[in-house]
Amino acid sequence: MEMLMFRILTALSDRSRIRNEDGMATAELLGNAALGIGALVVIWALLRQLGVDVVGWMGQQIGVG
C-alpha cells in the first residue's frame, strides 16, 4: 500500500513540475517592456506640459511673462 501511494504521489509531483512555468516567456517580457516604455512616454509628456504651464504661471505671477 505504501509503495502504491509513493508511486501516485511521485506521478502527481512530476506532472505538476511539467506544468510549472519557471520563467517568463520572451513575449511576456517584450509586452511588459512595451507597456513600461508607453507609460514613461505618457508620464514624460504630462510632466513636460505641466512644466510649461507651471513656468508660464510663475512668470505671470512675477510679471515677467
Is the CA virtual torsion 38, 39, 41, 42 positive or negative?
Answer: positive
Confidence (pLDDT) at 36? 94
Confidence (pLDDT) at 41? 94
Residue by residue, DSSP assigns the chain as -HHHHHHHHHHHHHHHHHH---S--HHHHHHHHHHHHHHHHHHHHHHHHHHHHHHHHHHHHHT--
Confidence (pLDDT) at 14? 61
pLDDT in tens, 16-55: 555 556 666 888 889 999 999 999 999 999 888 888 888 8
To the question of pTM greater than 0.85 for the whole model, the response is: no
